[in-house]
A and B are shown apart, each in its own frame.
Chain A
Amino acid sequence: MNLLLIALAAAALFGLTLFFAGLLGVAKEKLRVDEDPRIGQINEVLPAANCGGCGYAGCSDFAKAVVEDRAPCDGCPVGGSKTAELVAKILGVEVVKTYPFRPILHCGAKNHEKLGRVRYDGVQTCAEAHVVGVTQACTYGCLGYGDCVKACTFGAMVMVEGSPVVIYDKCTGCGACARACPRNLIENIPFKQKHMLAVACANPEPAKNVKQVCTAGCVGCKVCQKLFNELFEVRNNLACLNYDTYNGEEDLDKLFKKCPASALVYFGGEKPERAKELAAEMAGTAEESDG
Chain B
Amino acid sequence: MDFGALIGIFISIVLVNNLVLSQFLGICPFLGVSRKVDMAFGMGCAVTFVITVSGVVTWLIVHGIFQPLGQSLLGDPNALNFLKYVAFIMVIASMVQLVEMYLRKFFPPLYSAFGVFLPLITTNCAILGTCLYIDMKPETQHLLNAAVYAFGGGVGFAIAITIMAGVREHIQFSDVPKPLRGPGITLLVASILALAFMGFMGIGA
Contact = CB atoms under 8 A, between A and B. Distances in A.
B86 interface: yes
A20 B115 contact: no
A32 B79 CA distance: 40
Interface string A21-41: 001100110011100000000
B69 interface: yes
Contacts of B97: 24, 27
Interface of A: 1, 4-5, 8-9, 12-13, 15-17, 20, 23-24, 27-28, 31-33, 57
Contacts of A12: 65-66, 69, 80, 83, 87
Nearest to A28: B101
Contacts of B115: 57
Contacts of B91: 16, 20
B94 A23 contact: yes
Contacts of A13: 83, 86-87
A17 B90 CA distance: 8
Contacts, number: 54
A32 to B, nearest CB: 8
Q: Main SS of the interface on chain A?
A: helix
Nearest to B115: A57
B94 A8 contact: no
Nearest to B83: A9
20 contacts: A4-B74, A8-B69, A8-B73, A8-B74, A8-B80, A12-B65, A12-B69, A12-B80, A12-B87, A13-B83, A15-B65, A16-B87, A17-B90, A20-B90, A20-B91, A24-B94, A24-B97, A31-B101, A31-B102, A33-B104
Nearest to A15: B65
Given A9-B83, A12-B69, A13-B86, A33 B94 contact: no
Interface string B3-38: 000000000000000000000000000000000000
Given A24-B97, A57-B116, A9 B80 contact: yes
Contact of B98 (A17, A23, A57): A23
B178 interface: no
B70 to A, nearest CB: 8
A28 B102 CA distance: 9
Contacts of A4: 73-74
B143 interface: no
Contacts of B170: none
Contact of B74 (A5, A15, A16, A33): A5
B105 interface: yes
Contacts of A15: 65
Contacts of A31: 101-102, 104-105
A24 B102 CA distance: 11
Contacts of B98: 23-24, 27
B61 interface: yes
The 8 A-B pairs with the shortest beta carbon distances in the complex, nearest first, are: A20-B94, A31-B105, A31-B101, A27-B101, A33-B104, A9-B83, A27-B98, A24-B97
Interface string B44-61: 000000000000000001
Contacts of B69: 8, 12
Contacts of B79: 5, 8
